[in-house]
Structure 1
Amino acid sequence: LVFWLEAMSLLGLVGNTADALACTAKWLQVTFAQDGIQFIWNFSNAISQSAMHVYISALPFCPSNSLLSSVLKPKFHCLAEVFAGGFREWPSVQLILEGHTDYVTSVAFSPGGKRIVSGSEDKTVRVWDAERGVQVGSPLEGH
């Protein structure tokens, strides 16, 4: 921080530093929260089996480029080390949308990407929350 302030002073831009730092703080909060969501999505099965899996398996396999990894791993000196098979970035989360009883024939995302709509040979149309993979409301029948 002090080296950055020194550079900003040399550039005559100290007046912009408070706003820039506030913007950075917001970005860090959002990034940390997004990392937390990814952490839960990727490790919730193991953690739900045993709370200690937070430390035994989840934190050691947390991607090396994640904010959680850089902030939390140094605080826990007895974590297992992952020498192979670890991730640098969070993997894509794959959700299985369960509900249709026959072949799915069409799928579309809402314009904002928050919802997925699927139509099936079971004569239903279902709406899903794209982030959580849960059905929104009751199926529309007879379609």
Structure 2
Amino acid sequence: MCASRVCRALEALGARPATSLPILYNGIAEIVHLMFMGYAGRTLAGQHNLDRHRLIQQAEIYLQAIYDLRVLQGDPIPGNMVEENGRVMFIDFERATMQTRRIPQGGISPNQKRKLGDRSWEKSPNKHINCLEREK
């Protein structure tokens, strides 16, 4: 008999104790980990009656906040965003990755001279693209 509220809820749903046989998904695969999630809202996929401009602005702000924590969500599509009471929330961080801080490989020698008019770095198409821009 389980003492915790979560354990009792799982038993009420028909979950078996950990000592019993493994849970199988349609007899195809063994379920090793199982997570229950509460209702978070409606996904933005297929929602046409929403204020798209406001939701896009919110999504960009929240995605930037996630990125500021050095996390790339990995799959920022409307199906992985939910809306409830006018607020957007990102879900499904299965493809998310943590970004490590890069350490400079070395300093620039003061002895190297550069032509004053040389701005070849500005011609690069990737000069301003960061990880967040790739996710948008």
TM above 0.5, yes or no, is no
TM-score by length of 2: 0.22
1 or 2 for the larger relative contact order (CA 8 Å, sep ≥6)?
2
Larger Cα-atom Rg: 2
Q: By percentage of residues, which structure has more helix?
A: 1
TM-score by length of 1: 0.21
